[in-house]
Structure 1
Amino acid sequence: MAIGEWAADVPADVLDTLGIRYNRFVRAHEVPDEATLRDVLERLVAVAFAAATGAWMKNLSVVADDTECAVAGPSAPRPRRASIAVDGKALRGTRHHTASGRAWHLLAACTGRHGLVLAQVEVDGKSNEVSAFEPLLRPLTLDGTVVTADALHTQRDHARFLVKEKNAHFIFVVKKNQPSLYHQLKQLLWRQVRIGHSEDHHGHGRTERRSIKLVSVRQGLLFPHAVQAIAITRKTRPRHGGRWKSVTVYAITSLAAHHARPEEIAAWIRRHWQIEALHHIRDVTTARTPPRSAPAQAPPSWPRSATSPSVLRLDQHRQGQPESPSRCSPLPRHPRTRNQTERHITRERRSPRPKTR
């Protein structure tokens, strides 16, 4: 179990901070073994533990922001609002670990600045992310926070929930799943709107140029609490030259012009894509455990969203099954086919034998 391995290698000063008993006779800390940690985790209430972990993560993000501002000095600009990115992902390599044969699908909320997971819930499929949006964010304190989400969560109920109940703001991407709203945004006179902010990025063998335009639309917009329309234009081309490729994405926000500057809105939208790093980590972690004939189950008190490769190996140990090799282990050599064997024998016969003296 990964936690047991971490506890065995943790430094002594961390053990002192955690209050682990120190044995003076053997001059070492009495670190709990894997069985003890397993028993404690199985007795925890998953929902309460997830809520406590999310609150702890949020406090860590606040402390990290204060530390960065203190290091930068009083003259550095301080972010006026925090942002939270909401997105869902089907975990790679988990279809063989469920009885139904469907991959685990998680909807997570993480901080936009540091990428810390504040809350997550399991959903049955991509279509059920909409119904899991409010249960995910309801336990969190979102006063003055900007919530960013993709086009799937551009729902009117979500906007009313964030603004009226949670006293928060939203930035939602608008695509053709909202045809009337998308057509309305596309028909605005964007050529007459000045560029509010632009920036260039170089990396991954290409040059990217981003520009953002904002226009206040208080009446007639077919979405509740939306006061500004946003047009983000991305232009990319190979770093060593070539033709520009342009893509325009539309969005809406409940932030008025005096609530946030164009560069702040651009930064929040760009930070939303940091949640893709979380998806990559989860894909790599879950894909390290190869498929097995029998799906592993998490402890009864834990939802499937808390199941990790370590828990899967733990279930194998309980059932008396050998642990699955890691993805890094060498693959077995496949036997030669009949044609390959005949060619190999023929090649050996044709090769000259070394002369003996």
Structure 2
Amino acid sequence: MMTWFENAFDGLPDPRTGNAKRHDLLEVLTIALTASVCGAESCSDFADFAVDREDLFREFLRLENGVPSHDTFSRIFRLLDPAAFSACFGRFLDGLGAAGEGVVAIDGKTLRRSFDDAARGNPLAVVTAFASASRLVLGQQSFRVAEGDSEILAARALLECLDLSGQLVTADALHCQKETAQVIRDRGGDYLLRLKANHPALHAMVDEYFADPDLRAGLAAAATTDADHGRIEIRRAWVSHDLDWLRGPKSASSEPVLLPDMTCLGLIETTVEHRGKTTTTRHCHLSSRALSPAAYLQAARAHWAVENSLHWVLDVTFDEDRARNRKDHGPENLATLRKLALNVLRRARPEISIRRKRKRSGWSNDFARSILGQMR
């Protein structure tokens, strides 16, 4: 396993000096990642797990100075360069297997307990790129809420680090920006972006366009129906590849801001019947890919896997929302570690839930080896 880990984290700078370097950096990170896979959630947990499972670690680590203490784990994650640590995602994924083509969902999440009242520090927020088909995290970029940073700029910085060839990048209306769309195109991908009132002229024109029932009747369409727990949800989608009317002569007051290489407009109308009440919502999207209605529906729905298969799992299974690490780079680096552990768990024993895999890895060395054995 160390060969795989050394390749993944080759060149990661060690922030420690002097006697603080008595434990090998890669060995400390390996223990922390293994402990996180097996259910540990804090630096104290990592240290306790290292003591209790020292026999497991000595199978593939030297541990020349014994197992690291809580202070060692805490010091490393506080001081480690978060940009360098996060940049290891690509090589880490190479060790697990390619994420494959499909939908890459971009979404942000605030780490609610990462604020520091004493230092008047704002909570940390993280933008994540999530491969919906393989359910793997491709990378993350952090920023501090209300410190002049923004999710928009963090998302662009993250996208610039990714090879998006063959990928369809989805994001909510916050990221429906010319500059963001151009980054996606420059990195070889296509975009599917939600359109809302932050582009008032374009939103009004597209909304009026799809509001005409006669026009919708002539467009390509698709529909899906889901029924579960007494709830019936019908989704209808229409797409239009005729954008000439948007590019014609317009008055200066109504000139819409068009995204680069935009080739497709879409509307999804969702009708939900639940407990005798019916609600209908409509959402418009812009895309650089000439999507069919069925592909459009599938991609728009795949975007929300980032909520159900990532954010929900991190909060419920990894207890991320209650993580109390606040000092220096600790919150960001531990957020990266959790996503690395989640990727490992996703790729091994797919027939078992993440929660069960973490519990059984913590209980049994043999089961832990079956999860960690893929990292050769």
In structure 1, the residue matched to 2:352 is none
1:234 pairs with 2:270: yes
Aligned to 1:185: 206
Match of 2:105 among 85, 93, 96: 85
Local SS of the residue matching 2:150: helix
Take 2:78 and 2:170, find their aligned partners in 1: how far apart are those partners? 34
| SS, match of residue 171 in structure 1 | strand
Show the counterpart of 1:104.
124
Q: Is the counterpart of residue 247 in structure 1 residue 278 in structure 2?
A: no
Aligned with 2:133 (options 113, 130, 136):
113
Q: Which whole-Å deviations, capped at 9, do the CAs of 1:227-278 have from their partners, x for residues lacking one? A: 010101111111xx62431111000100024xxx433332221121122233
Contact 1:8 1:31 in 2 (8 A): no
Shift of 1:160: 1.6
Q: 1:37 to 1:93 in 2, by over 3 A?
A: closer
| Structure 2 contact 104–168 (Cα < 8 Å) conserved | yes
CA distance in 1, matches of 2:95, 2:239: 32
**CA distance in structure 2 between the partners assigned to 1:122 and 1:14 by the alignment:** 31
User: Aligned to 2:87, what secondary structure does the other structure show?
Assistant: helix
Kept in 1: contact 2:103–2:168 (CA 8 A) = yes
Distance in 1, matches of 2:216 and 2:205, equals: 15
> In the aligned structure 2, how far is the partner of 1:95 from the partner of 1:39?
18
2:333 alignment counterpart: 306
Q: Which amino acid aligns with 2:332?
A: S
> C-alpha offsets along residues 68-118 of structure 1, whole Å, 9 cap, x if unaligned?
xxxxxxxxxxxxx32211111222233456733532222221111233222
2:282 alignment partner AA:
T
Tell me, yes or no, if the aligned pair for 2:223 and 2:237 is still in contact at 8 Å: yes
CA distance in 1, matches of 2:144, 2:63: 46
Cα distance in 2, alignment partners of residues 49 and 104 from structure 1: 16
Partner of 1:207: 232
Match of 2:361 in 1: none
User: Is residue 194 of structure 2 the alignment partner of residue 173 of structure 1?
Assistant: yes
Q: Contact conserved, 2:74 with 2:330, CA < 8 A, in 1?
A: no
Question: Given the superposition, is the C-alpha separation of residues 235 and 61 from structure 1 closer, same or farther in structure 2, using an over 3 Å criterion?
Answer: farther
Q: Which amino acid aligns with 1:138?
A: E
* Percent identity between the two aligned chains: 24
Deviation digits for residues 169-204 of structure 1 (CA, Å, limit 9, x no counterpart):
000000111111111211224522445322122335
After superposition, the C-alpha distances for 1:107-147 in whole angstroms (9 at most, x for unaligned) are 22111123322222222337711222221111111112111
1:3 aligns with 2:3: no
The change in CA–CA distance for 1:253 and 1:101 in structure 2 (over 3 A counts) is same
1:85 partner amino acid: A
- Alpha-carbon distance in 2 for matches of 1:207, 1:103: 38
Aligned-partner Cα distance in 2 for 1:14–1:113:
33
Partner of 1:318: none
Partner of 1:319: none
Structure with the greater relative contact order (CA < 8 A, sep ≥ 6): 1 or 2?
2
1:54·1:117 contact (CA, 8 Å) conserved in 2? no
Aligned length, in residue pairs: 273
More helix by share: 2
| Residue 147 of structure 1, aligned match among 155, 169, 173 | 169
The aligned runs of 1:328-347 (5 Å cut-off) are none
**SS, match of residue 122 in structure 2:** coil
Aligned residue type for 2:191: F
Counterparts in 2 of 1:93 and 1:43: CA distance versus 1, 3 Å: closer
Q: 1:203 to 1:8 in 2, by over 3 A?
A: farther
Q: Which residue of 1 aligns with 2:306?
A: 275
What CA distance in whole angstroms lies between the structure 2 residues aligned with 1:104 and 1:46? 13
d(CA) in 2 for partners of 1:263, 1:61? 28
- What corresponds to 1:157 in structure 2? 179
CA RMSD, 1 decimal: 3.4
- Check the 8 A contact 1:61/1:116 in 2, yes or no: no
Are the equivalent residues in 1 in contact too, given 2:266–2:296 (CA < 8 A)?
no
Q: Which runs of 5+ in 2 are unaligned?
A: 1-42, 248-257, 339-376
Contact 1:97 1:296 in 2 (8 A): no
Q: Residue 46 of structure 2 aligns to which amino acid in structure 1?
A: I
Partner of 2:20: none
- SS of 2:286's equivalent in the other structure is strand
Q: Which has the larger radius of gyration?
A: 1
* Secondary structure in structure 1 of the residue aligned to 2:192: strand
